């Protein structure tokens, strides 16, 4: 698996798109820092960008890479390599190179600005960790979609729809159900509903760590009570981890049964 | 016995491609797998390689059941039908990559010289012509020393000189006691190379035997006509 990972990773970091992605974060980091002049505020703005953008880029890169490397995959399948290693290697190659772009692209401007001397270092690391989680989750989901669909257009369509659902539609449905059932106690419901969507979960996690949960009103208080504690934090991390592992299991399952 | 196949079934959607193939392949011979388009030749080969997962039946390669195994592929050199290579890497890089992945001794230098690929080593695969790609494909297949060689349409796009080299190469491998499976539509190539014919029709082995046996059964003097006549005479094996 490590050899496949190595080749996929090299292949990707040599590609133009990885540089574009890296330079985008680099520019974003510098611009935000010098416009805001405040690490904490920059982290909040970054969060808003990252929470939507990372899943989108992860989804599109994942699907694109899978379909573009189909020929290479077929070549590898005839070699003495375990099937699941081929797909796992490619998955980690894509997710790893995207995460590297993210960490370097945002890390460099923040380090130059003097992150180490600021007390926002924990918030910032949390931002990068959730960013990495989201990258792995969405690359995994897009791989599962791509391997299940021979048709490129269909695969792309489903992947983008999934992103749209989790990033936009889910929140709308969530909000609507809150309004519809406002006469009922909704604490548990909103907690569970948030935890089920990795994008929402990441957003809440960062917001709470930034101590601006007062902005969230009544629900904010409940969230703070749950996610704000160490136990809540651990549980949310565990859920993110679960979100990362589930697509991988799906990928393994599909890879074992597919004909090429 | 190199390969033993038992009651192999495979269906793609509504299309039942293999309908109970029984087959045994012995060591040290060249087998030609023939049959009309869509008769299941490639599916059969891909099942042996584990790229297609059969619905029913069993396959044994070199006395090992291949189900859920992948190490047996170390003993197989496979030439895929259409040389689909990743476009953005150089010929040299591709050869090195496959060498690295297989991690066994290889003799690519002589083969590169044999097919005159020297000038192309630093070119990207997307810039190569079909015939040159096929030569790269051949180098990748023959550079390892495995007891079983599977060639899917090896002659595609080759010029006469390369074709002669390929034939010599196949004969040399056979002389070393290797088992070779070939699919092709070029009957002259089959007549020259093959010891045994396997004729697939509608997902079953319709005929298995030597060229001589085929000629006798179909009462033809010309090999090409014998193949064409195979389905009309009652020579069901």
3-state secondary structure A17-83: HHHHHHHHHHHHHHHHHHHHCCHHHHHHHHHHHHHHHHHHHHHHHHHHHHHHCHHHHHHHHCCCCCH
What the block records as the tokens of B100 is 């690295």
A98 and A57 Cβ atoms separated by less than 8 Å: yes
CA B218 to chain A, closest CA, distance in angstroms equals 36
Cβ-defined contact of B73 to A75 (cutoff 8 Å) = no
Q: What is the DSSP code string of A81-106? A: --HHHHHHHHHHHHHHHHHHHHHHHH
Nearest-5° angle of CA A229, CA A234, CA A236? 95
Separation between Cα atoms, residue B135 and residue B147, nearest integer Å: 21
Separation between Cα atoms, residue B136 and residue B111, nearest integer Å: 9
Separation between Cα atoms, residue B237 and residue B224, nearest integer Å: 19
DSSP count for chain B of H helices, then E strands: 8, 10
The whole-number pLDDT of residue A149 equals: 92
What the block records as the tokens of B199 is 């004729």
Provide Rg for chain A, Cα atoms: 19
The whole-number pLDDT of residue A242 equals: 94
B139-187 pLDDT, tens digit per residue, is: 988 998 889 999 988 888 889 999 999 999 999 998 998 999 999 888 8
What the block records as the tokens of B32 is 């030609």
Separation between Cα atoms, residue A18 and residue B191, nearest integer Å: 52
Separation between Cα atoms, residue B31 and residue B44, nearest integer Å: 13
Q: Which residues, at least 6 apart from A182, have a Cβ–Cβ distance to it below 8 Å? A: none
CA B136 to chain A, closest CA, distance in angstroms equals 13
Cβ-defined contact of B80 to A76 (cutoff 8 Å) = no
The whole-number pLDDT of residue B85 equals: 78
Residues of chain A in contact with residue B47, where contact means CB-CB under 8 angstroms, are none
- In the predicted model, residues of chain A with pLDDT beneath 50 are none
B68-88 pLDDT, tens digit per residue, is: 788 888 888 899 876 677 777
B217-237 pLDDT, tens digit per residue, is: 888 888 888 888 877 755 454
CA B85 to chain A, closest CA, distance in angstroms equals 6
Picking from A70, A74, A79, the nearest residue to B101 by CB comes out as: A79
Residues of chain B with pLDDT > 70, as a percent, come to: 97
In sequence order, the β-bridge partners of residue A10 are: none
Domain ranges of chain A: 2-257
- How far, in Å, are A83, A108, B3, B77, B169 from residue A80 at the CA level? 9, 41, 17, 10, 23
What the block records as the tokens of B71 is 């190490």
Interface test with B, best of A80, A82, A252, A255 (most B CBs within 10 A): A80
Separation between Cα atoms, residue B9 and residue A194, nearest integer Å: 47
Cβ-defined contact of A259 to B86 (cutoff 8 Å) = no
Separation between Cα atoms, residue A13 and residue B43, nearest integer Å: 36
The whole-number pLDDT of residue B235 equals: 46
Neighbours of A173 (CB within 10 A): 12
Does the predicted interface ipTM exceed a cut of 0.85? no
CA A257 to chain B, closest CA, distance in angstroms equals 7
Residues of chain B in contact with residue A76, where contact means CB-CB under 8 angstroms, are 101
Cβ-defined contact of A260 to B52 (cutoff 8 Å) = yes
Residues of chain A whose beta carbon is less than 8 angstroms from a beta carbon of chain B are 3-4, 7, 11, 69-72, 74-83, 257-260
The whole-number pLDDT of residue A110 equals: 83
The whole-number pLDDT of residue A70 equals: 84
Q: Spell out the domains of chain B, with CATH numbers in brackets.
A: 3-233 (3.40.50.300)
């Amino acid at each position: 698996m490590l050899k496949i990972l190595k080749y996929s990773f090299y292949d990707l970091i040599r590609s133009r798109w990885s540089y574009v992605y890296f330079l985008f974060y680099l520019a974003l980091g510098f611009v935000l820092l010098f416009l805001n002049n405040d690490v904490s505020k920059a982290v909040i703005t970054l969060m808003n960008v990252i929470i939507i953008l990372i899943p989108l880029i992860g989804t599109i890169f994942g699907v694109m890479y899978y379909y573009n490397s189909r020929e290479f995959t077929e070549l590898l399948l005839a070699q003495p390599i375990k099937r699941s290693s081929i797909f796992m290697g490619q998955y980690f190659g894509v997710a790893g190179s995207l995460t590297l772009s993210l960490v370097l692209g945002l890390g460099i401007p923040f380090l130059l600005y003097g992150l180490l001397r600021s007390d926002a270092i924990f918030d910032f690391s949390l931002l990068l960790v959730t960013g990495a989680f989201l990258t792995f989750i969405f690359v995994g989901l897009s791989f599962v979609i791509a391997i299940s669909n021979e048709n490129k257009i269909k695969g792309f369509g489903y992947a983008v729809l999934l992103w749209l659902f989790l990033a936009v539609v889910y929140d709308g449905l969530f909000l609507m159900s809150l309004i519809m059932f406002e006469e009922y106690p909704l604490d548990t419901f909103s907690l569970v509903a948030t935890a089920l969507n990795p994008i929402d979960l990441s957003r809440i996690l960062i917001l709470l760590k930034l101590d601006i949960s007062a902005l969230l009103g009544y629900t904010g208080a409940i969230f703070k009570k749950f996610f704000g504690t160490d136990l809540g934090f651990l549980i949310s991390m565990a859920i993110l981890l679960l979100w990362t592992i589930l697509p991988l299991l799906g990928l393994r399952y599909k890879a074992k049964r597919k004909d090429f | 016995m190199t390969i033993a196949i038992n009651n192999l079934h495979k269906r793609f959607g509504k299309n039942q491609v293999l309908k109970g193939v029984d087959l045994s392949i012995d060591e040290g011979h060249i087998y030609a797998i023939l049959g009309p388009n869509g008769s299941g030749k490639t599916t059969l080969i891909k099942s042996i390689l584990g790229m297609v997962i059969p619905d029913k039946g069993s396959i044994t390669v070199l006395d090992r059941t291949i189900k859920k195994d992948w190490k047996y592929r170390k003993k197989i050199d496979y030439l895929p039908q259409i040389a689909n290579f990743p476009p953005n890497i150089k010929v040299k890089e591709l050869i090195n990559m496959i060498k690295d992945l297989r991690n066994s001794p290889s003799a690519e230098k002589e083969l590169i010289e044999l097919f005159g690929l020297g000038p192309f080593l630093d070119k990207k695969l997307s810039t190569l012509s079909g015939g040159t790609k096929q030569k790269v494909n051949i180098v990748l297949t023959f550079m390892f020393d495995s007891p079983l060689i599977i060639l899917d349409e090896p002659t595609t796009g080759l010029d006469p000189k390369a074709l002669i080299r390929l034939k010599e190469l196949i004969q040399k491998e056979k002389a070393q006691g290797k088992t070779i499976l070939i699919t092709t539509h070029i009957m002259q190539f089959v007549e020259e190379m093959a010891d045994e014919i396997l004729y697939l029709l509608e997902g079953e082995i319709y005929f298995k035997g030597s060229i001589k046996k085929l000629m006798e059964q179909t009462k033809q003097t010309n090999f090409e006509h014998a193949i064409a006549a195979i389905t009309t005479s009652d020579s069901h094996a």
